[in-house]
Every structure is written in structure tokens, then in C-alpha cells.
Amino acid sequence: SKALDLLSDRHDIKSTNKLGKLVQKEIALASPKKVAHTIDVLKQTADKLRNGNIQLDIEEQAKPSTPVEVNF
């Protein structure tokens, strides 16, 4: 995210170099074990969403709210 912000804010060669360095740093930090764990968590989350065990905030906002009685 920080890398993409750098690129979008500045379109010069320094930003491109910074982007490359940040990406390399993030790749170096991403061990296969961490990547596998993240994929596993994402799969579990997708299963829970499909089964209706959890709901995203946006889904809750999409539901009609309880009608409020207004007296004039």
C-alpha cells in the first residue's frame, strides 16, 4: 500500500526506485510459512462468509434499518 501510494504521488524515477526497494523488502519478509498461513486464513474466512457464519460490515449496512416512527 505504501509502495503504491509512493508511485501514485510521484511519477519520477526516485519513486520508482523506492517502490522497487519496498517491494523487495516485503518479498523478503514474506516467508513461505507466512504466505501459507495467510492463504489458509483467507480460505477459512471465505468459507465462513459462504456459510453465513460471519458478515462483512458492508452487508450489515445494506440491510434495511428498523423503521423509525416520526411524529409531526
Contact 12, 32 (CB under 8 A): no
31 or 70, which is more confident = 31
Locate the domains of the chain by residue range.
2-51
Contact 10, 22 (CB under 8 A): no
Give residue 12's pLDDT.
54
Of 72 and 50, which is predicted with more confidence? 50
User: What pLDDT, in 10s, does the model give residues 42-57?
Assistant: 899 888 888 888 776 7
**pLDDT, tens digit, for every residue of 1-44?**
566 666 556 555 566 677 778 778 877 787 888 888 888 988 99
> How far apart, in Å, are the Cα atoms of 72 and each of 45, 65, 66, 67, 69?
46, 21, 19, 16, 10
Whole-number pLDDT of residue 50: 86
Write the single-letter amino acid at 34. Answer: K
CB-CB contact of 17 with 8 (8 Å): no
